[in-house]
Amino acid sequence: MTAPLIGITTAHRQRRHPPPVTLAAIPATYVQAVAQAGGVPILIPLGIGEEGLKALVDRLDGLLLPGGEDVEPGLYGEPPHPRLDKVDPERDRLEITVTRLALDARLPILALCRGHQVLNVALGGSLYQDIPSQWPEAIVHRAPNRREPGASHLITVDAGSRLAQIIGPGPMVVNSFHHQAIKELAPGLVATAWAPDGLIEAVEMPDHPFCLGVQWHPEEMVQDHPPMRALFRAFVAACQNDDRRPTREGTEDRGLRTADLGPPAQTTTRPLTADR
């Protein structure tokens, strides 16, 4: 069988040495986790317009939304909180657009950390912009010094959820690198895992072939934690079983033409200084 093509969105990064160059990049752990599970990672750069994203979604077998910086609060109707970290409006627009296109196409989706939050916002939900100041009962979800190893904590998983079928019912320990979290859950999503303080740690869409979001970083855990390897294997298997694949594999050329990408979107350059 042909390995499924899995799109992974990227972020702006600035090259550390001159001359200054803006890169479309993503930590290699996402690419490695998808590849080890049997998928073919396809990086989606910023600067692609909606028509180009439609062309990509039509050729992809799955979508992975990775971690990153904070989500622009105006997208869910709130003013910026004083402790909001850096945002990238261009990345927000692209990821929300491609998420909605992928949902419309019934494409399997795995959303991680920021991606879990983007999924919720794309469907009409909202976020806590800063957990420590907006959730007084919160445990530590991000190490105070970002140069230190990330925090970790237990999660409780809904035993009847798809997530529990994949990674087990828990409880289990996961890593934690975030200061934002789901506040109002979007219509169509259900919460399936929680931190000890009650914050939502995982969501899924029951009427979708495969749409899961988790607040932790399973790609950082796959080498030592079989449940996280199982999560990526389940995602890739769902992409392999995409009911659109037989039609697409019957064509002579699944490659993208330059014209398919449409006109370039307006871009800005900024360093990426945020969560993973």
Q: Is 113 noted as a catalytic residue in this protein?
A: yes
**From 12, 141, 179, 217, active-site residue:** 217
Instruction: Say how far residue 46 (Cα) sits from the centre of its chain.
Output: 15
Helix (H, G, I), strand (E, B) or coil at 124: coil
Which entry of 69, 95, 113, 220 is annotated as an active-site residue?
113
Active site residue 17: no
Catalytic residue among 90, 201, 219, 220: 219
Nearest-angstrom CA–CA distance, 191 and 205: 9
What one-character-per-residue DSSP string does 140-179 give? --S-SSTTSPPEEEEEEE-TTSHHHHHH-S--EEEEE--S
> Would you call 217 a catalytic residue per the annotation?
yes
Cα distance between residue 176 and residue 249, in whole Å: 39
Measured between alpha carbons, how far is 29 from 40 in angstroms, rounded to an integer?
A: 14
Cα dihedral sign, 240-244-246-250: negative
| Strands across the sheet containing 151-157 | 40-44, 5-9, 62-65, 109-112, 211-214, 200-204, 190-194, 151-157, 172-176
Give catalytic residue positions.
113, 217, 219
